């Protein structure tokens, strides 16, 4: 996200790209409907003619019943396409498991040994000048770009939701349940997200920071993390 951005963030995954296209498509249809309704309302107000003989209009009644149904089909079909596209698991290269706790996320890279850690929000007094308030974490989720990733989400106490807008990922973390999502990241960089469930009064947004890197850098990070258990907060 950039400052004063009111619309959707730039996408970092193919699914989010499609979601933005669908958003624009639905918005265009909405604009057409709003214009038509607005035009009709204005012309009704301005029209002073009356007729004592018009009692029914079967043709217009039929048309304005069928037309909205057809318009809805044009929204529903791409919406369903996207829904099933997001649900698809395309032979993932690795799995990331995340568990929601009050007030932090913990991550497990189950394809590698000894690779799990907690990710807390950086406290305001510890914040470096170049970090984002309420949005940065002490341990980032490092992930390789351009490879399909399976995300497994659950919670240890109450409801949470693992939400990263630029990836188009929003998965509920529910105690006693495993939810699955899949995504791939198509560019390097830092991707920010927050928990979007009501985990508790004054909950601190439970930020998520993904560090998207190349496959080589990711492998280096994994071997470094697996070797030393002191450098990072590991469980
Ligand atoms: Cu976890 Cu809101």
Span 174-207, pLDDT tens digits: 999 999 999 999 999 999 999 998 877 666 689 9
Give residue-wise pLDDT tens across range 47-82.
Answer: 887 888 888 999 999 999 999 999 999 999 999 999
Q: What is the pTM of this model?
A: 0.84
How far is it, in rounded angstroms, from Cα 173 to Cα 156? Answer: 9
On the question of pLDDT at 235 being above 70, the answer is no
| In the chain, beta strands by DSSP E | 94-101, 104-108, 116-119, 141-144, 149-155, 160-164, 169-173, 179-183, 189-195, 207-213
Query: What residues contact residue 139 under an 8 Å CB cut-off, 6+ apart?
Result: 107, 117, 118, 119, 120, 232, 233
Tokens of 187: 């560019």
Predicted local distance difference test score (pLDDT) of residue 229: 56
Predicted local distance difference test score (pLDDT) of residue 35: 97
Predicted local distance difference test score (pLDDT) of residue 234: 43
The rounded mean pLDDT for the chain is: 90
CA 198 to centroid of ligand 1, rounded, Å: 5
- Ligand 1: atom nearest CA of 206 is 1
Give residue-wise pLDDT tens across range 15-51.
Answer: 999 999 999 999 999 999 999 999 999 999 998 878 8
| CB of 195 closer than 6 angstroms to any ligand 1 atom | yes
| CB of 173 closer than 6 angstroms to any ligand 1 atom | no
The verdict on domain 14-87 having CATH code 1.10.287.90 is yes
- Ligand 1: atom nearest CA of 199 is 2
**Residue 94 in contact with residue 141, Cβ under 8 Å?**
no
Residue with the larger pLDDT of the pair 133 and 20:
20
CA 43 to centroid of ligand 1, rounded, Å: 49
Length of the chain in terms of residues written: 235
In the chain, CATH 2.60.40.420 covers 94-229
How far is it, in rounded angstroms, from Cα 220 to Cα 148? Answer: 19
Predicted local distance difference test score (pLDDT) of residue 114: 78
Predicted local distance difference test score (pLDDT) of residue 202: 65
Give residue-wise pLDDT tens across range 80-131.
Answer: 999 999 988 889 999 999 999 988 999 999 998 778 899 998 888 888 888 8
In the chain, CATH 1.10.287.90 covers 14-87
CA 156 to centroid of ligand 1, rounded, Å: 12
On the question of pLDDT at 230 being above 70, the answer is no
- Ligand 1: atom nearest CA of 100 is 1
How far is it, in rounded angstroms, from Cα 49 to Cα 107? Answer: 70
Confidence class of residue 146 from pLDDT cuts 50, 70 and 90?
very high
The superfamily CATH assigns to domain 94-229 is Cupredoxins -  blue copper proteins (2.60.40.420)
In this structure, the residue with its CA closest to atom 1 of ligand 1 is 160
| CB of 207 closer than 6 angstroms to any ligand 1 atom | no
Confidence class of residue 228 from pLDDT cuts 50, 70 and 90?
low
Predicted local distance difference test score (pLDDT) of residue 102: 86
Confidence class of residue 221 from pLDDT cuts 50, 70 and 90?
very high
Predicted local distance difference test score (pLDDT) of residue 103: 85
| CB of 203 closer than 6 angstroms to any ligand 1 atom | yes
Share of the chain above pLDDT 90, in %: 69
């Amino acid at each position: 996200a950039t400052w004063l951005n009111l619309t959707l963030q730039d996408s970092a995954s193919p699914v989010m790209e499609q979601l933005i296209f669908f958003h624009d498509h639905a918005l265009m249809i909405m604009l057409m409907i709003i214009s038509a309704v607005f035009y009709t309302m204005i012309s009704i107000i301005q029209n002073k003619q009356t007729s004592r003989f018009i009692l029914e209009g079967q043709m217009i009644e039929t048309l304005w019943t069928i037309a909205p149904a057809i318009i809805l089909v044009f929204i529903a079909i791409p919406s369903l396409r996207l829904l099933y596209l997001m649900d698809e698991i395309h032979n993932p290269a690795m799995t990331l498991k995340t568990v929601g706790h009050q007030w932090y996320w913990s991550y497990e890279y189950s394809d590698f040994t000894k690779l799990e850690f907690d990710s807390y929000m950086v406290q305001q007094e510890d914040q470096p000048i170049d970090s984002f308030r309420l949005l940065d974490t002490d341990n980032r989720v490092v992930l390789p770009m351009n490879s399909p990733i399976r995300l497994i989400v659950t919670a240890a106490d109450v409801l949470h939701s693992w939400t990263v807008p630029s990836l188009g990922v929003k998965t509920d973390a529910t105690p006693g349940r495993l939810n699955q999502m899949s995504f791939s990241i198509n560019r390097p960089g830092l991707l920010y997200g927050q928990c979007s469930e009501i985990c508790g009064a004054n909950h601190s947004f439970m930020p998520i920071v993904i560090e998207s890197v190349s496959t080589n850098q990711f492998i280096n990070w994994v071997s470094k993390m697996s070797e030393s258990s002191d450098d990072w907060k590991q469980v």
